[in-house]
Chains A and B, each alone.
Chain A
Amino acid sequence: MEKKEKRSLLHTASFQDSIFVGLCAAGLLAYSLYHHYFDKNTSDWKTSPYLFPTLISVFGLLLTVSLVMDALQELRSGEAVKKDTGSKRNLVGVLVLIGASLAYYFLLPILHFIPATIIFLAALFLYLGERKWWKIALLSVIAAVAIYLLFGVALNVRLP
């Protein structure tokens, strides 16, 4: 579902991106200059560890200008603002997966690999639409144990 609407420079994706990139580049430039001039270990630019980061930040600032020009071009050409009606629901799915992954990250040192993995997989199978509890239980237990045996035992890979 695409909808055309009037917009200002601030509403173009390229301009929004240029603000972010510009801030990052300016931050890196300030960081590099500050550390070059105030760190004890650095003396001249030719051996300075901050020479290349400075170069990157200058390049980043040039690209910020390029993005602003892209944004102006977008405005001139009147490109449509893409509005995807389905993306809101899907964004929730993405946030749930990130949340579940972070929970798994913190559970791993507490519960150890197999129990934490079974809980993580079961929660995701359930969220992604599997409704038969026996299938969820079977799949999560088999997957966790199979991965433990394959990687941890057979391939000798250290598991978290």
Chain B
Amino acid sequence: MSAIIASLSFFTDIRFILLCGLGSVAGLFVGSIPGLSVSMATALLVSITYTWSTHDALATVMGVYVVGVFSGALSAILLNIPGAPSSVVTTLDGYPLAKRGEAFKALKYATVYSFVGSVFGLVALALLAQPITSIALKFQPMDYFLLALFGLATVGGLTTDSFSKGLISAVFGLFFAMIGMDAVLGTPRLTFGITNLNAGINTVPALVGLFGFAEVLSVIFDGHMDAEVNGIVKQVVKMKDILKHFWHSLYYSLLGTVVGALPGAGGPVAAFLAYSQAKTIVKNPSRPFGEGAVEGIVASESSNNACIGGALIPMLTLAVPGDAVTAIILSVFYVHGLQPGPMFLATSADSFHAILAGGFIGCVFLLLLGLLVAPHLSKIIAVPKTILMPIVTLLCVIGAYACNNRLFDVGLMFFFGILGFLMRSRGYSVAPMTLGIVLGNMMDSNFRRAVSLAVSADNVVVALFGRPITMVLLVCTLVSIITNIPAVKRAWANRKSGKAK
């Protein structure tokens, strides 16, 4: 609770509020226009905010993050195209409502419950960060390695249909992280004589390429350059009616926070889970689910926004990001010389408070923009992609160049963009690769440290895995890997269907 009180001091900082507002407006546009994503915007922001102060950068990034996740609902409701993957479930009831001429009502529900979910997640972050940090302080190098491995295995299992493909994406991410000067001995590794690679693959151009340029290539490949948009007719929607679902929304928010804290699960999983729960617990929905039930929008929006706070918990306390956006936010931290992890709350408490304040101010902007501006955005979100895509490509070039002022990074961005496009077209998710790139060096140094410490002990295996925390993490990692192996999955499914018969 003291963290929330400390974060209130930022509410009087006009510059902080204005930058958060700027980020929120950017998040509103980026999240609502299909083809632009919060991940892409955050990756671009890393390079733009490179020269800014840490608090300015965090204010802007949090504004983009909080409002960007919500605004995916706008295009989900008005176009039947989710602006963000976490808004997929909102299309199920939001679009049918819009088709009935009730888009305004759908937007109002989405705004209010996105606000509730976001605030819930951030409060959970404020309350849980300290206890989790206390546990994390007991971590040793092998624990960090296993935690990162657990994250990669979970992301690999959840982001694509095939577990092998998810892990391959992660392995390639780890490979790219290995390129450059080795942190322990200072030996150039996997650089193949290219001097520009001695400093390693900069995460910013890699992420801008994987999320920005790859998205542009995918949009052009899919060929859907225009979209039909539903109009909005203003109608009276009483706040009393909207707030009827408040208690249910707290339950969906709790689900969202827990799912968000699991590495890799993120908004889409939370929204689907909450939606299926809503179908069970809501006995008399306003309309049947899938035909315009506001209860479906409540479940989807409160849970996917609650993921924001949830995903930040492991990122800040353990330096293990919960999703692609937090992986990118982690690189914002590194760019500004901050070191998330168990010592983060002790050494950078002001940055933690800035994140909380940025999140809460972002929530206020979410409410204001969602209720006042979003209903007027219907024409803007239908901007032809023939105009949008070349400009996004240009922004990717600027974003890749700005962090180091090297044209080589622009080339890297194009390389990762093409790679990301090829991966997507063959069914590989780029999220595990992102995590691999961000976590690779941490895994490498901790693994070698753990091995170095263990070989001098009497029993190497006990020294590596003998501690309770290590054993728990090892079991979690093994369970995550084994239960995702296709043969095990098939055997489990066969057993289940056999029992059902």
Q: List residues of A whose CB falls within 8 A of some B CB.
A: 13-14, 17, 21, 24, 28, 31, 35, 39, 41-42, 45-53, 55-56, 59-60, 63, 66-67, 69-70, 73, 86-87, 89-91, 93-94, 97-98, 101-102, 104-105, 108-109, 117, 120-121, 124-125, 128-130, 139, 143, 147, 151, 155-160
Contacts and interface: CB of A to CB of B under 8 A. Distances in A.
Contacts of A47: 184-185, 448, 452
Nearest to B172: A24
A70 B486 contact: yes
Contacts of A120: 390, 394
A147 B394 contact: yes
B401 A159 contact: yes
Contacts of B287: none
Contact of A49 (B165, B187, B410, B443): B187
Contacts of A105: 397, 407, 410-411, 414
Contacts of B167: 59, 63, 66
Contact of B171 (A35, A63, A91, A157): A63
B154 interface: no
A89 B223 contact: yes
Interface residues of B, number: 60
Contact of A121 (B189, B394, B426, B448): B394
Contacts of A49: 182, 184-185, 187, 189
Nearest to A128: B386
B464 to A, nearest CB: 12
B175 to A, nearest CB: 6
A156 B443 contact: no
Given A143-B390, A157-B402, 11 more contacts: A46-B452, A46-B455, A49-B184, A63-B164, A67-B165, A97-B216, A108-B407, A124-B389, A124-B390, A151-B402, A159-B398
B407 to A, nearest CB: 6
Contacts of B165: 17, 67
Contacts of B394: 117, 120-121, 143, 147
B427 interface: yes
A51 B448 contact: yes
B398 A98 contact: no
Contacts of B162: 14, 70
A50 B189 contact: yes
A130 B407 contact: no
Contacts of B164: 14, 63, 66-67, 70
Contact of A46 (B182, B225, B411, B451): B451
Contacts of B390: 120-121, 124-125, 128, 143
A41 B217 CA distance: 43
Contacts of B77: none
B48 A155 contact: yes
Interface string B438-481: 00000110011001100100000000000000000000000000
B493 to A, nearest CB: 13
Contacts of A98: 217, 414, 418
Contacts of B249: none
Interface string B394-406: 1101100110010
A101 B452 contact: no
Contacts of A155: 48
Contacts of A60: 168, 171
B190 interface: yes
Contact of A67 (B168, B397, B401): B168
A126 to B, nearest CB: 10
Nearest to B455: A46
Contact of B448 (A46, A59, A109, A158): A46
B223 A13 contact: no
Contact of A41 (B48, B187, B385, B411): B187
Contacts of B485: 66
A121 B386 CA distance: 11
A35 B24 CA distance: 49
Contacts of A45: 451
B393 interface: yes
B221 A51 contact: no
A90 to B, nearest CB: 5
Contacts of A90: 220-223
A2 to B, nearest CB: 16
A160 B387 CA distance: 22
B51 interface: yes
Contacts of B418: 98
A24 B394 CA distance: 32
Contacts of A35: 189
A76 to B, nearest CB: 11
B178 interface: yes
A156 B171 CA distance: 37
A91 B387 CA distance: 19
A52 B441 CA distance: 10
Contacts of A159: 398, 401-402
B487 interface: yes
Nearest to A147: B394
Contact of A160 (B51, B222, B386, B397): B397
Nearest to A73: B486
7 contacts: A13-B427, A14-B162, A52-B444, A91-B221, A121-B391, A151-B398, A159-B398
B174 interface: yes
Contacts of B421: 94
Nearest to A157: B402
A66 B168 CA distance: 10
B47 interface: yes
B393 A97 contact: yes
Nearest to B226: A129
Contact of A63 (B168, B175, B213): B168
Nearest to B487: A69
A125 B386 contact: yes
Contacts of A93: 220-221, 223
Contacts of B220: 90, 93-94, 97, 128
